[in-house]
Amino acid sequence: MGMIHDPLVPNKKSTNNKTINLARKLLAKAAPLVATRKNLFKADSLNHTDVAFDNFIVTPEGLRLIDWEKPRVDDRSYDLCFFLSEPAQLWFSPIVVDAEERERFLLNYARLSGHRLELILEKVKIREPLVSLHWILWGATKLCDLNEHRTAPELIQAHAAKAPRYERIAEPANIEKLLDSFHLG
């Protein structure tokens, strides 16, 4: 019988162990809430999985979502949490949506979608820290790849130019912030 691969076990020499340990803490903290509320999440819509600011364009017909690289059927909260994720926002800008703008966005989303605000808020509370962690670990992985020369030669220049952005989202402080804001119950 083969070993089970633990995605948080560092297999890269330049892995930031603080990031890995904080990620483990967040996952351990989230596990009871996820286990007791997983029935809330239904594969009910096509998700873009990269609902980032620069994947929207304005056309004469209105706003359009482009770059459908990894679409999947999932609970609609995935894309909502991705859009609200602070690390995802930090990828594109040092400015993030503040609490008031976030609340206004969620209220309007509930009103326009016809979904209950309480259910949306509960799903976001559970899922957003995990989506944010995904972004943080993605950035950390890209940094390791650059530091260890694992990036494909034809992509090195493009990824090296993005290094400050990877660093901004991969900060262990971003996971610490998630830990501080994640509450059970």
Mean predicted confidence (pLDDT) in 60-84: 92
CA–CA distance, 104 with 109 (Å, rounded to integer):
8
**Do 175 and 19 touch, CB atoms closer than 8 A?**
yes
Domain boundaries, the chain: 17-181
pLDDT given for residue 91 in this prediction = 86
pLDDT given for residue 8 in this prediction = 54
Q: Which residue has the higher pLDDT, 11 or 61?
A: 61
For 137-173, how does the pLDDT look when each residue is reduced to its tens digit (9 = 90+)? Answer: 999 999 999 888 888 889 889 889 999 999 999 999 9
CA–CA distance, 20 with 22 (Å, rounded to integer):
5
Q: Where are the alpha helices (DSSP H) in the chain?
A: 17-37, 77-84, 86-92, 99-113, 117-147, 156-161, 163-170, 172-181
The bridge status of strand 62-65 relative to strand 56-59 is antiparallel
Which residue, 56, 130, 141, is CA-closest to 92? 56
Tell me the fold of 17-181: Aminoglycoside 3'-phosphotransferase; Chain: A, domain 2 (3.90.1200)
The answer to whether residue 108 scores a pLDDT higher than 60 is yes
CA–CA distance, 79 with 45 (Å, rounded to integer):
10
Vertex 124: Cα angle to 15 and 103 (nearest 5):
115
Average pLDDT of the chain to the nearest whole number: 88
For 2-30, how does the pLDDT look when each residue is reduced to its tens digit (9 = 90+)? Answer: 444 555 555 777 888 899 999 999 999 99
CA–CA distance, 139 with 170 (Å, rounded to integer):
5
Biggest alpha carbon–alpha carbon distance for the chain: 58
CA–CA distance, 85 with 72 (Å, rounded to integer):
19
Share of the chain above pLDDT 90, in %: 63
User: Taking the model in full, what pTM does it have?
Assistant: 0.85
